[in-house]
Amino acid sequence: MSRQTTHPLDAEETRIAAALARLGDASPPPALDARIRGQAHAAVTRKRPLRRSGGALAAVLALGVGIKVSMSPIPIQPGIVPDPSALQDQSSPAMVAPVPSTRASESNQSALEQPTIERAAADQPRLDKAQADQTRRAPASTPRAASAPPADASRPSEAKQPSSLRHEQRVEPASIPIAPARLASPPASQAAENTAEKAVRSTSALPQPFPDEPPQRAVQSAPPAESDITEARPLILEERAAPGRSEVAAPPPTAARSPRAATMRASPSPAPTADTEAPAAAGADPQPTSSKRQAFGTGGRGALGQTGSAAKSKEPPSDAIAADAKGELDARVELSALIELARKLARNGDADRLTQVLRRITLDYPQAELPDDIRALLEAERSPR
Amino acid sequence: MDVESQRSDEDLMLAYAAGTAAAFDLLYERHRAPLFRFLLRGISQRALAEECFQEVWSRVITARARYQPEAAFTTWLYQIANRLLIDQYRRAGSRPRSIGEPDAVLEHTPDDVSQQPEHLLSEFEQRRRLQLALESLPDEQRIAVQLRLEQELSLEAIGEITGVGRETVKSRLRYAMDRLKGLLSP
């Protein structure tokens, strides 16, 4: 391993070396020896913090995410309450759910939600009828659509999709039926609904899941009163008391502003669609799609979506799948951060912000599996004060 | 312990880099005295020599993970020491002289020297002259002589330590030896 570094001295060198040796055999003092040895021993017995700091690093990252979420404003739209006409549509098929992931290609959609598609295909005649009705009614009731901003260019054209897939995208059960509860809310907050719509539009980069819908959902309105929130909350409990009526109901309006949330709801697809079929079979669907969309603030995106559908339809499917997966991952991260924030706020006793965070969780991730403590917080939040 | 003591410097250094503290003790025991002598001859001030000595070993400890056994441990160790010496010379503007403090060099006089006063004076004069001869050498020649006569290193190893070629080392040694022989001759 080592090379020969020494070489014997010749006679002359030996003589001078002996003279040099007589100059003195100096050696370091014992204290210095002890200090150096101690330093050497400490160096090899010292712990290496970087190798064992995985947990600490993860904790720091989690803390950073939590701080970032807590620093960012939470765009909760208070008092999202439908108009009275939505009350008539509770038995209609749920055609108001947003597209799970607006960037998903058809193949990706079918891979994710094949059972849902099959069930939706069974409902196709009814849904087509409802859609036709909604299309006929839409222009007369939507003078606001003229001001709708341009929609997301990444939205694929729904018109090019198979009808069964179109319906599948709209039929999505909600395991936490919050939005239907708003159907029973008083009609006092058309303005609140418009505000929600406005918030959705303000995130103009978000995809619009209903490109074929008439532009009746364009929103201009003043922010609702805070009392709208408190009025809507008991209705959620009311809806929970009668879940069979609207398990299929549309997701809340804030779901539309978050494609990640839509993706998250789409991918597990565990919820049954039996509830979807039940109200559809009842046949009471005089104004199904438009009114429900209006009620939950998801309408109006149809017109926006049509604007950007052509561009989106050119996107390769692989990109769409990757974007879909990224959206789902982002949604999970965001949900985790929201849960952590809710826990923190609960610990700190910040009731106002906790209410906002819980509402955001409920609205953005209605189908997410929530931890028990968060569920308990939600229940406590819903209970009448 | 015998098996351990027969291990090469490089093995011991690798073992120490892997976390065996006892390997360092062996390594230190082998090289502490020659290294200290090398530094003391070069600096001639004991306090500075001790400071440099500790710094050399600190660098060895710190750089243990980067040690590559392609170079001999002795070469690596004296490379560090030589650089520290040169840095010390640069800081001081010139090489510190031992004039005025001969005791720092001569305090470890062997005990077997004859106790006769004239013999003691002769020995003292001889060592004194050798010390002065060494200090009068240029730094490069003095370092080459020390590494050759005290550590018995080969020309190649000295060249690696000082960063010059074998022929340069050979030339420096020849000039230094001629000068020492002239100064030491009666």
Whether B9 sits inside 8 A of A1 (CB atoms) is no
Contacts of B53 in chain A (CB under 8 A): 28, 32
- List pLDDT tens digits, range B51-75: 999 999 999 999 888 888 887 899 9
- List pLDDT tens digits, range A312-357: 444 456 677 777 777 778 888 888 888 889 888 888 888 888 888 8
What pLDDT is recorded for position A16?
A: 82
Rounded Cα distance between A210 and A219, Å, is: 16
Task: Pick the residue from chain A with its C-alpha nearest to B102.
Answer: A23
Q: Is the pLDDT of residue A137 over 70?
A: no
Q: Is the ipTM reported for this complex over the cut 0.85?
A: no
> A277 is written with which tokens?
């079929």
Whether B53 sits inside 8 A of A22 (CB atoms) is no
Instruction: Identify which of A247-251, A317-321, B47-51 has the greatest average pLDDT.
Output: B47-51
Contacts of B156 in chain A (CB under 8 A): 3, 5
Kindly state the DSSP code that residue A216 receives in the 8-state scheme: -
pTM here is 0.40
What pLDDT is recorded for position A50?
A: 52
**Residues pairing with A85 in the sheet:** none
Task: Pick the residue from chain A with its C-alpha nearest to B185.
Answer: A16
Question: How many angstroms away from the CA of B91 is the closest CA of chain A?
Answer: 23
Contacts of B105 in chain A (CB under 8 A): 23-24, 26
Rounded Cα distance between A341 and A335, Å, is: 10
Rounded Cα distance between B49 and B112, Å, is: 26
Whether B75 sits inside 8 A of A5 (CB atoms) is yes
Rounded Cα distance between B44 and B61, Å, is: 25
Whether A2 sits inside 8 A of B9 (CB atoms) is yes
Least CB-CB distance to A6: which of B28, B62, B154?
Answer: B154
Least CB-CB distance to B152: which of A6, A19, A33?
Answer: A6
What pLDDT is recorded for position A73?
A: 66
- List pLDDT tens digits, range A75-106: 555 555 545 454 444 444 334 334 444 343 34
- List pLDDT tens digits, range A162-193: 444 444 444 444 444 443 334 434 444 444 44
For an interface test with A, give the residue of B40, B57, B142 to mutate (most A CBs within 10 A): B57
DSSP count for chain A of H helices, then E strands: 17, 0
- List pLDDT tens digits, range B112-168: 545 556 555 666 777 777 788 888 888 889 899 889 888 889 899 999 999 999 999
pLDDT band at A111 (very low <50, low <70, confident <90, very high): very low
Alpha carbon of residue A314 to chain centroid: 25
pLDDT band at A291 (very low <50, low <70, confident <90, very high): very low
Question: How many angstroms away from the CA of A175 is the closest CA of chain B?
Answer: 57
